[in-house]
Amino acid sequence: GAGVSQSPSNKVTEKGKDVELRCDPISGHTALYWYRQSLGQGLEFLIYFQGNSAPDKSGLPSDRFSAERTGGSVSTLTIQRTQQEDSAVYLCASNPQSGPNSPLHFGNGTRLTVT
Amino acid sequence: DQQVKQNSPSLSVQEGRISILNCDYTNSMFDYFLWYKKYPAEGPTFLISISSIKDKNEDGRFTVFLNKSAKHLSLHIVPSQPGDSAVYFCAASAMYSGYALNFGKGTSLLVTP
């Protein structure tokens, strides 16, 4: 079956432009997570959705970052007025339900480069 | 602040030998721990996990050990194979935060023939 799908796989943008990253979770997975990995860093938690609601937005680095999820499925992460420090690999993950016994299934990520 | 720490950025092991990857954590509320494996240009994939009520979990060549008093866990791979070469991420989670995963920075394992 299809795994978590992310698009685009690569995105190069100019500083100050807005970008939208898309995540298609595994069908039926109710929980969806966004992480990012900057160069030489671990995976940094950004936001988590249970269905369409986001109980935990604590990881969003600034108000330039926002995310939404519609229909309990596709999610978009939007970064406004991109800065060079936003350059990273943005990873999306899903699981059937939040909880310890439900390991995350990750997509291959979107590599964002802000020039 | 980094609540999950992997202090060895890289490790090189000969094929057939044991690989030991270490991880330390600071948050005593963490009650579930996982290891993920990541190949270049791919997302991390789940490898093995352990609940805080256990001190060992084994799955084939992979064993995870948890020492709660020391806030330390380790992943043992025996015997190591060249296909095990990847970046290994330690992760921890807690019920109070909805089990969102806190990841370490990863250890790059190279298994040489």
Nearest Cα to A43, choosing from B85, B97, B7, B4?
A: B4
- Integer angstrom CA distances of residue A76 from A14, A70, A107, B8: 20, 9, 14, 34
A55-69, A82-96, A97-111: least confidently modelled range: A97-111
**A10 CA: distance to closest CA in chain B (Å):** 11
Q: Searching chain B, which residue's CA lies closest to the CA of residue A10?
A: B41
Closest CA to B27 of B46, B1, B51, B48: B1
Ranges A26-30, A53-57, A107-111, B21-25: which has the least confidence: A53-57
Question: Which chain A residue is nearest to residue B31, measuring alpha carbons?
Answer: A100
Report pLDDT for A42. Answer: 83
At A47, the amino acid letter reads I
Q: Do B99 and A40 touch (CB under 8 A)?
A: no
- Cα–Cα–Cα angle for A86, B85, A111, rounded to 5 degrees: 20
Q: According to the model, what pLDDT value does residue A59 have?
A: 87
Rounded CA separation B89/B69 (Å)? 21
**Residues A7-29 as b or e (16 or more Cβ within 10 Å = b):** eeeebebeeeeebebebbbbeeb
Residue scoring higher pLDDT (A34 or A55): A34
